[in-house]
Chains A and B, each alone.
Chain A
Amino acid sequence: MTTNSLTTSQGAGRAGDKVFSGAAMAAGCLILAVLFGVALFLVVQAIPALTAPAEDIQGGNGFFAYIAPIVVGTLIAAVIALVIATPVAIGVALFISHYAPRRLAAGLGYVVDLLAAIPSVVYGAWGAAFLAKEISPAYDWLATYLGWIPIFEGPASATGKTILTAGIVLSVMVLPIITSLSREIFLQTPKLHEEAALALGATRWEMIKMAVLPFGRPGIISAIMLGLGRALGETMAVALVLSSGVLTASLIQSGNQTIAAEIALNFPEASGLKVNTLIAAGLVLFVITLGVNMIARWIITRHKEFSGAN
C-alpha cells in the first residue's frame, strides 16, 4: 500500500481556514445582495412613475420635468458644500498632520471627529434657527454689491433659509469626513519621500507640495467623494434649513430643492403614483451617486502609473 504522505492534512488548521474564507465570502456576497436588492426595489417601484402619462405626475409635465430641477438643486447644494469644505478640510488635515505640535494635533483631531458625531437633525436645527438668521445680513450685502452676478441676484431672502445656507450647513457636516480621511492619508506619507524633499532644500510647504499632496491625491479624491455622497444624500439638515421652491439661479433667494429633502418632506403624505414618483427620484439620486463614484475611480486610476503604488 502506497500513500502519499503529503496528502494527509492537519484537520484543525484547514477547518479554521475554510470557516474564515466562507465567512469572508458570505460577507462579500451579502453586500452585493443588499445592493442588488435596493437597486431592484428602486427600479421596480419607479417604473410606474416613469411610464405614467405626463399629466398624472406632479406638475403635470411628466417625470423628467419634475425631477430635473431638484437634481440641479441637489447638485448645487452639494457643490457649495464641497467648495467650502474641501480647502478647509485639507488645510485642517495638513495642520494636524504636519504643522501642529503633537498634543494640540491629537486634541484637534478629536474635536474634528466629534463634529461627525453630531446628528444631522441638530445641524438642521442649528442652521434653521441660528445660522439662517445670522447670515441674512450678509446675503443683503451680497445682493446689493454683487447682485449683478446671477447667483447673488436679489432680493435676498429675509429669513436666510436659502440653498446657500443649506450648502454651508452641509459643508460643516462633510468637513469632518474629508478632514479625518485626509489626515490619515497625510500621516501615511512615506518618511522617505518627505526626507527626500527636505534634503533637497525644500521648505515645509514645498515638502508638502512635493511629497505629501501627490502621495495623498487618490486618498483626497476618495475623501471628497465620500463627502459628496454625504452632501448629496443628506436629508434632515436640508429639509429643515431650506425654504424650498422652484429652481432658482440665485443662491440667496428662497427656492430650489434637493432630492433627499423632497422625498423626506413628501413621503409621509404620499399615496399611489406619488409614492412611485418619489421612489423614482430616489433611483435618480442612486444613479447620480454611483456615477460620481465611478468618475472618482476613473480619476484615480488614470494616474496609476505615477501613484506611488508601484
Chain B
Amino acid sequence: MSKRIDVKDLNVYYGNFLAVEDVNINIQAKSVTAFIGPSGCGKSTFLRTLNRMHEVLPGARVEGEVLLDGDNLYGPGVDPVTVRTQVGMVFQRPNPFPTMSIRDNVLAGVKLNNKKISKGAADALVEKSLVGANLWNEVKDRLDKPGSGLSGGQQQRLCIARAIAVEPQVILMDEPCSALDPISTLAVEDLINELKDQYTVVIVTHNMQQAARVSDKTAFFNIAGTGKPGKLIEFADTTSIFNNPAQKATEDYVSGRFG
C-alpha cells in the first residue's frame, strides 16, 4: 500500500512566473523524504504538484511528468480527484473541519464520491485511523465533540488520521509541525516514523533537526535570488546531506552559514 514517485523535468509556474525549475527526483516507496531549503525556494510549491493541489490556485500550472508507480499524474484524462485520493496531504496549519465531530472528520474523505459505509465498518475505520495517528486514547471518549476543540497537536494528528483513513499510497506533509509546540512536534515525528512502514511519506520542513530525525533521504532546494526560480540543488541520503554534502550551497545551508 505505497507507491514510488518519479519526477521528470518538472517546471512549475504561477501564470507566467516560473516558480520551480527542472526538478528530477525519485522518491522511494515506504520511506520518508524531507524537503528543506530557505523560505520561498519552492519546496512547498513543488510538494503541492505531487497531488495536483498546485493547480487549485488560479493560473497555476506545471510542465513535465510526475509518475506514481509509472502512471503520469499529469497525463491526459487523469482526474485530479483520483490523484488526491491516492496522494493524501497534511497541511501547515491543522485544519480539521470545524463543523464536524472528531468521528466525522476522520470519515470525511471516506464518505466522498457517494461511497456508503456501514456503521460497524465506520466505527472500525475510525478506531483504526485514530490508533494509526496515535490519537485514539486521547479522543475515544469524545468522538462526537467538534474537532476544533482539540489542542493544536491533537488537531494535526486528527488531520493525519483523516488522511490515512482513505488509505492513500503517499502522504504529503507541508511543514506539519510548524504551528505546534515541541511536545506535539515529538508526537507527530514519532507518528511519521511509524507511517513509513506503510506509506510513502514526503515532508517539507523548515526545521533541519526535524529533517535529520525523521527522514531517510533529504532534498535541498534553493533559490538564486528574488524573482528567480527555485531549484533542486541536492538529493541524497539524509546522513550525507547533513554530514557530507556534495554541494557548497547545501553545506552552507545545513551548517547555518546561509546567505
Contacting pair A306 B91 (CB below 8 A): no
Checking A102, A198, A200, A308 against B99 with a beta-carbon cut-off of 8 angstroms, the contacting residue is A308
Whether a CB of chain A sits under 8 angstroms from the CB of B88 is: yes
Whether a CB of chain A sits under 8 angstroms from the CB of B78 is: no
Query: Which of B106-114, B211-219, B240-248 touches A?
Result: B106-114
**In the complex, A199→B162 CA distance in Å?**
11
Whether a CB of chain A sits under 8 angstroms from the CB of B4 is: no
Contacting pair A206 B53 (CB below 8 A): no
List chain B residues, Cβ under 8 A from A272.
none
Contacting pair B99 A217 (CB below 8 A): yes
List chain A residues, Cβ under 8 A from B96.
196
Number of chain A residues whose Cβ lies closer than 8 Å to a Cβ of chain B: 27
List chain A residues, Cβ under 8 A from B166.
200-201
**In the complex, A294→B55 CA distance in Å?**
43
Contacting pair B108 A199 (CB below 8 A): no
Contacting pair B108 A306 (CB below 8 A): no
Number of chain B residues whose Cβ lies closer than 8 Å to a Cβ of chain A: 31
Known A-B contacts A201-B166, A203-B81; A215 and B51 likewise in contact (beta carbons under 8 Å): no
Whether a CB of chain B sits under 8 angstroms from the CB of A114 is: no
Residue in A closest to B85 when the chains form the complex, CB atoms: A201
List chain A residues, Cβ under 8 A from B51.
199
**In the complex, A200→B87 CA distance in Å?**
8
List chain A residues, Cβ under 8 A from B88.
199-200
* Residue of A195, A199, A214, A217 contacting most chain B CB atoms (<10 Å): A199
List chain B residues, Cβ under 8 A from A309.
98
Known A-B contacts A210-B108, A306-B99, A310-B149; A200 and B163 likewise in contact (beta carbons under 8 Å): yes
Contacting pair B95 A192 (CB below 8 A): yes
Contacting pair B99 A307 (CB below 8 A): yes
List chain B residues, Cβ under 8 A from A197.
97, 108
**In the complex, A198→B89 CA distance in Å?**
10
Contacting pair A206 B113 (CB below 8 A): yes
Whether a CB of chain A sits under 8 angstroms from the CB of B56 is: yes
**In the complex, A192→B156 CA distance in Å?**
13
List chain B residues, Cβ under 8 A from A306.
98-101, 146, 148
Contacting pair B99 A203 (CB below 8 A): no
**In the complex, A192→B56 CA distance in Å?**
12
Contacting pair A195 B163 (CB below 8 A): no
How many A-B residue pairs lie within 8 Å, measured between CB atoms?
88
Residue in A closest to B92 when the chains form the complex, CB atoms: A192
- Contact residues, A172-206 vs B (CB, 8 A): 190, 192-203, 206
Contacting pair A215 B99 (CB below 8 A): yes
Contacting pair A198 B97 (CB below 8 A): no
Whether a CB of chain A sits under 8 angstroms from the CB of B93 is: yes
**In the complex, A211→B100 CA distance in Å?**
10
Min CB distance B255 to A, Å, is: 34
Residue in A closest to B93 when the chains form the complex, CB atoms: A192
List chain A residues, Cβ under 8 A from B95.
190, 192-193, 195-196
Whether a CB of chain B sits under 8 angstroms from the CB of A305 is: yes
Contacting pair A200 B100 (CB below 8 A): no
Whether a CB of chain A sits under 8 angstroms from the CB of B73 is: no
Contacting pair B112 A308 (CB below 8 A): no
Contacting pair B112 A206 (CB below 8 A): yes
Whether a CB of chain A sits under 8 angstroms from the CB of B159 is: yes
Contacting pair B58 A102 (CB below 8 A): yes
Known A-B contacts A192-B91, A192-B95, A307-B98; A202 and B112 likewise in contact (beta carbons under 8 Å): yes
Whether a CB of chain A sits under 8 angstroms from the CB of B137 is: no
Min CB distance A278 to B, Å, is: 45
**What are 17 A-B contacts defined by CB distance under 8 Å?**
A190-B95, A192-B93, A194-B56, A196-B97, A198-B84, A199-B84, A199-B91, A200-B108, A200-B109, A200-B112, A200-B166, A211-B97, A303-B99, A306-B99, A310-B146, A310-B148, A310-B149
Interface, chain A (partner B; CB < 8 A): 102, 190, 192-203, 206, 210-211, 214-215, 217, 303, 305-310
Interface, chain B (partner A; CB < 8 A): 51, 53, 56, 58, 81-82, 84-85, 88-89, 91, 93, 95-101, 108-109, 112-113, 145-146, 148-149, 159, 162-163, 166
4 tightest Cβ-Cβ pairs between the two chains A and B = A308-B98, A200-B109, A201-B85, A214-B99
